[in-house]
Amino acid sequence: MRILVTGGAGFIGSAVCRKLVTEYEAQVLNLDKLTYAGNLHSLAEVANSPNYQFVHCDIGDRALVDGLLAKFQPNAVMHLAAESHVDRSITGSASFIETNIVGTYALLEAARGYWTKLSGAAKDRFRFLHVSTDEVFGSLGDEGAFCESTAYDPRSPYSASKAASDHLASAWHHTYGLPVMISNCSNNYGPYHFPEKLIPLMILNAMEGKSLPVYGDGSNVRDWLFVDDHASALITMVQKGRPGQTYCIGGRSERTNLDVVKAIIRLVDNLSPDKSIGSREKLITYVADRPGHDKRYAIDCSKTEGELGWRQSVTFEQGLEETVRWYLDRRDWWEPIRKKTYSGERLGLASKAG
């Protein structure tokens, strides 16, 4: 396999690159703009592999992307480059529109230009995988789950930008025949996760004895998917998925935010006890909820399991313990981020008018 990955220095993208190179011996070209959440240290495991290349690149730079496609000659593009944090989208939506919508358009056009010049088996084999989120579907009640036929109902600037990019990807398949596939996943977690997101933020704050901010009453529900399982599903899609299809990828691990925080507390208290801090449960602080906070997400991944033969291999309990242990052991990765890029401050502080 020769795979061009966009956003490969991000959380999910780096997991995809590591797995492609180490487990599949694929040739990988990683394009990443290296915005605040891009981290080349997440790719140290494969950085010196002859199968791996990195180019510092904005996917909106059409001339550069055209040249890289022509030179590298990939048989698939895995598009993971995106602005992805809901809280940041609330107070700074412009970069989400530029990257997630305009950037995806530019990449689709570059891929279409490359694909139309292919012929025979190379053209038949090519795939464009657009990686998206379950947040495009909006909010669930107490029952049911999102699936491939769920109507779109985005509620945040982030989810609206991803919904728009999903529709662009689908339109490029139906209009131009570009062999596009779309994935919609539930919340990812695991090692190398930028510490603005719930799980790594709670782990690091608990380790340091800092406040553990829980939005609202903590009853919002998310389905949690270990990042390596997600990477495996995406690679399986490239190998077995059908163009024009959407595949939902979930962890079948619904938890309230408060339950997740309490599980983290138990692990950190057990693995890294600190007499000066004591039980971390007293660090939980209930804060004003996020504007437009979706109540519940859940994924029905039966189609992905049945059609592609993919199965998750890591339970939430296993994955969370592995994640906590990783952050305990890898200060070299996260301490520079906490000191220089993001120290754990509250993001997305905005309110509805009226």
Give the list of residues 6+ apart from residue 105 with CB closer than 8 angstroms, or none.
168
| Residue 7 burial class via C-beta count within 10 angstroms: exposed 0-12, middle 13-18, buried 19 and up | buried
The active-site residue out of 52, 114, 158, 189 is 158
The active-site residue out of 58, 83, 134, 294 is 134
| Residue 158 annotated in active site | yes
Cβ neighbours of 41 (radius 10 Å):
15
Cβ neighbours of 280 (radius 10 Å):
25
Give the list of residues 6+ apart from residue 45 with CB closer than 8 angstroms, or none.
18, 22
| Residue 215 annotated in active site | no
Q: Return d(Cα 80, Cα 31) in angstroms, integer.
A: 10
Q: Return d(Cα 1, Cα 104) in angstroms, integer.
A: 23
Q: Return d(Cα 198, Cα 350) in angstroms, integer.
A: 18
Cβ neighbours of 244 (radius 10 Å):
14
| Residue 135 annotated in active site | yes
Q: Return d(Cα 281, Cα 229) in angstroms, integer.
A: 30
Q: Return d(Cα 344, Cα 196) in angstroms, integer.
A: 7
Cβ neighbours of 178 (radius 10 Å):
23
The active-site residue out of 32, 58, 83, 135 is 135
Helices (DSSP H) in the chain: which residue ranges?
A: 11-23, 62-72, 86-91, 94-96, 104-116, 120-125, 157-176, 198-208, 227-240, 257-271, 302-308, 316-329, 331-340
Q: Return d(Cα 215, Cα 267) in angstroms, integer.
A: 21
Tell me which residues are annotated as active site: 134-135, 158
